[in-house]
Every structure is written in C-alpha cells, then in structure tokens.
Amino acid sequence: MNRRLKALVWILRPTARGPEVLLLRRPQRRGGGWHPVTGKGDTGEGVSETASREAFEETGLRGELEELGLRHQFAGNKRDFEEHAFSMRVLAFAEPRLSDEHVAHRWAGPDDALATVIWPNHREALILALGRWR
C-alpha cells in the first residue's frame, strides 16, 4: 500500500539544568493540545528533508537533526501515513517564530513535557530524544 510520509520533530535546546523541550499548542480547529512539529512530506521529498522543512516552516528554527529510528503507521481520513520521528537540537537561547498552525509555544523541562504529551507515539519519540541527549 502507498503510504504518505510524515515527520515528527521534537526540538530541544540546552540549559544549565539540562534540555528544554519545545511544546507547540495547536488551535482548537486542529484539535488543540501541546505537540511537537509534525508535517507531511511533499512529492519526491525524503523524510529527513520533510523534518527539516517542517521544523523551519512551523518554528523558524534550524538545528542538528537526528533520526530516532521510530516509525509509526496510521490511517488518515483519505490515505495511510508513515510517520518518522526526529529530534532537533537548537542553540541555547533559540526562540521560535510560529506559523499559523500553532497559537502558542512554551519550553518545558523533560518531566513537564512528558506529563503534557497525550499521544503515545509523541511520548515514545520524546523519550528516545531525551535518551540521546548529550
């Protein structure tokens, strides 16, 4: 079956206390809640390119991208998807410039971020991203 590629990107920045995780709030018309960057691949685009592009489009941030080796397949309304998880490390004082896909953002510590995330695949990807933090 032909699946459309998606990317999920957890953006992290260093602090003296350890990593902070960028949480993005979706508007109610898109389900609300706090999420990582997510987005669909364009035709002919690889999943790493999708992850970099979506992170930049949604937050204006660029950084060190790392594939987490986690894939999640699911059925959408019109087609099936295969979502690949990534982490992106940005500079210590990086601040996002949000697109209209989100209405707010906040930086959270690891425990706060894990307690806030509701989707199991988002949580699993965040656990992997935090585990690889250096």
pTM: 0.93
Instruction: Write down all domains in the chain, each with its CATH number in brackets.
Output: 3-131 (3.90.79.10)
Report which of 90, 104, 32 is spatially closest to residue 56, judged by C-alpha positions: 90
Q: pLDDT per residue over 56-74, tens digit each?
A: 999 999 999 999 999 988 7
- CA 98 vs CA 22, 53, 56, 64, 121: distances in Å: 12, 14, 9, 19, 23
* pLDDT under 70: residue ranges of the chain: 1
Place of tokens 């707010």: 104
At residue 1, the pLDDT reads: 52
Percentage of the chain with pLDDT > 70?
99
At residue 73, the pLDDT reads: 82
